[in-house]
């Protein structure tokens, strides 16, 4: 039911990417935010071009799926 929401995947996708790329525990983003986000920025900047293309394409797909679902709903189509 949660996946039926239009923009939920565009919100969840960056969180999933952070878990894939970074090796910092989730709780450290709240306990030691400055160092954790600095580490995340360093890890993202050291990714290969192919990895960036794959991750960027996934985010673009999540955003485009939200746009398409809104357009289809406006035209009267019902998903699920």
pLDDT digits (tens, 9 = 90+) for 52-69: 999 999 999 989 988 888
pLDDT at 49 over 90: yes
Helix, strand, or coil (residue 8): helix
Domain chopping of the chain, boundaries? 2-74
pLDDT-based confidence at 2, cuts 50/70/90? low
In this prediction, residue 9 carries a pLDDT of: 85
In this prediction, residue 76 carries a pLDDT of: 87
Long-range contacts of 70-75 (CB under 8 A, 24+ apart): 70/6, 73/6
pLDDT at 1 over 90: no
Q: How far is it, in rounded angstroms, from Cα 56 to Cα 80?
A: 27
Q: What residue spans of the chain are helical by DSSP H?
A: 8-21, 28-31, 33-45, 49-74
pLDDT in tens, 5-44: 677 888 889 888 988 888 888 888 889 889 989 998 999 9
Q: What DSSP character marks residue 75? A: T
């Amino acid at each position: 039911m949660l996946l039926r929401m239009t923009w939920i995947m565009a919100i969840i996708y960056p969180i999933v990417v952070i878990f894939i790329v970074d090796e910092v525990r989730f709780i450290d983003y709240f306990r030691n935010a400055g160092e954790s986000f600095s580490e995340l920025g360093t890890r993202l900047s050291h990714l290969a071009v192919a990895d960036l293309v794959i991750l960027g394409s996934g985010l673009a797909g999540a955003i485009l799926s939200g746009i398409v679902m809104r357009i289809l709903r406006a035209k009267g189509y019902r998903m699920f």
